[in-house]
Amino acid sequence: MTDRLSLDDIERAGAAIRSYLPPTPLRRSFALRRAGDAYLKLECWQPTGSFKVRGATHVLACLSPEERRRGVVAASAGNHALGVAFAVQVLGGQTDATLFVPETAPRAKVEKLKGFPVTVHEEGATYDDAHALALAHGERTGATYVHAFDDPRTAAGQGTVGLEILDDLPDVGAILVPVGGGGLISGVAAAVKARAPTVRIVAVQPEASPALPESIRQGRPLLEYPAGPTLADGLAGGIGRIVFDHRDLIDEVLLVSEAEIEDAIVALVADDQVVAEASGAVGVAALRSARWRGDGRPVVAVVTGGNIDARVLGRLLAARA
């Protein structure tokens, strides 16, 4: 597998993870009724509450027996760590996993992690800190580092989202994808553009962390980015090299405000009975705010995760009651 993803890479990933992760629903959205023929790809209904489980499961399924014996290590703001923990469990539970999450990681994700047979270290103020600690652990122990996004095996697993959308909605016109590190949109774009090149791939980030458009503007991947405060913590910070290398497959990049993200979270609960974390709701925010206007063809917003802190969700709902 090369760094430039192919349709074959993503189809092979689909075959590798299919027995562990059945397709997630694609459902018409009431919250997006003003956006035309609009659908939600419910990755928030994955067994860990996030699309990240696809990439993690694919990476672990690709490991050699010797790599499994040495164990794995990962850094995560929460969702990727949950994906690695799930993958270890469904692949037999014989691989030791050490997971580093920053001290600021949402409690909902950390508490869920504690239900898996893994070692969790809450260390560092940011994801970058946790990443550095995880790399150091791998160097000391020989454990394989499972990257959250900047690995073609991870991105290929995540790209299976795109294959499922095309299978369920062949006439889709646009797919809106939240972008943090960029593994998901790299895989989705590679798969969709190979099978249906007229489908538009739209990246969405919070205004507080426009790392992708800034990287494109500067002509280099900003691997670290000084994000402002945002509820979409999973999208804050720099992008990966992989999404920069696939930027030609992205048709547009949109930015959404914090108010628009909060509105999307509440609308998803009220109208669609879907619980989404802020990072997972940015595509819906872009459609509800009319930052994206399509060409009349069906549009899909990928709801990437649902691991929102109950107190945050309660506050947002109460403020709009």
Q: Give me the mean pLDDT over the 195-219 stretch.
A: 98
Domains of the chain: 7-50+152-319 (3.40.50.1100), 53-145 (3.40.50.1100)
Tokens for 99? Answer: 């997971």
pLDDT of residue 2: 46
Q: Specify whether the CB–CB gap between 190 and 7 falls below 8 A.
A: yes
Per-residue pLDDT band at 249 (split at 50, 70, 90): very high
pLDDT digits (tens, 9 = 90+) for 132-146: 999 999 999 999 999
Residues 158 and 170: their CA atoms lie apart, in Å, by 19
Q: Following CA atoms 176, 180, 181, 186 in sequence, which dihedral angle do they give, to the nearest 10 degrees?
A: 0
Residues 166 and 115: their CA atoms lie apart, in Å, by 34
Q: What percent of the chain has pLDDT over 70?
A: 99
pLDDT of residue 111: 86
Residues 158 and 166: their CA atoms lie apart, in Å, by 14
Q: Specify whether the CB–CB gap between 287 and 158 falls below 8 A.
A: no
pLDDT digits (tens, 9 = 90+) for 290-312: 999 889 999 999 999 999 999 99
Per-residue pLDDT band at 170 (split at 50, 70, 90): very high
What is this structure's pTM? Answer: 0.95
Q: Give me the mean pLDDT over the 203-213 stretch.
A: 98
Q: Give me the mean pLDDT over the 64-89 stretch.
A: 93
pLDDT of residue 163: 98
- List Cα–Cα distances, 167 to 130, 155, 242, in angstroms: 37, 19, 25
Q: In 3D, which of 93, 188, 114 has the Cα closest to residue 149? A: 188
Please report the DSSP string for 139-199 in residue order: HHH-PEE--SSSSHHHHHHHHHHHHHHHHH-TT--EEEEE-SSSHHHHHHHHHHHHH-TTS
Per-residue pLDDT band at 5 (split at 50, 70, 90): very high
Element (H, E) at 107: helix 107-113
Tokens for 293? Answer: 């206007």
Per-residue pLDDT band at 114 (split at 50, 70, 90): confident
Q: Specify whether the CB–CB gap between 37 and 299 falls below 8 A.
A: yes
Residue 115 clears pLDDT 90, i.e. is over it: no
Residue 1 clears pLDDT 70, i.e. is over it: no
Per-residue pLDDT band at 126 (split at 50, 70, 90): confident
Tokens for 285? Answer: 């925010």
Per-residue pLDDT band at 279 (split at 50, 70, 90): very high
Q: What percent of the chain has pLDDT over 90?
A: 87
Alpha-carbon Rg of the chain, whole angstroms?
18
C-alpha neighbours within 13 Å on the C-beta side of residue 94: 10
pLDDT of residue 109: 83
Q: In 3D, which of 84, 292, 274, 311 has the Cα closest to residue 173? A: 292
CB 288: neighbour CB atoms within 10 A? Answer: 25
pLDDT of residue 94: 85
Mean pLDDT of the chain: 95
Residue 232 clears pLDDT 80, i.e. is over it: yes
| Burial (CB count within 10 angstroms: exposed 0-12, middle 13-18, buried 19+), residue 128 | middle
Q: Give me the mean pLDDT over the 49-75 stretch.
A: 96
Q: Give me the mean pLDDT over the 127-135 stretch.
A: 89
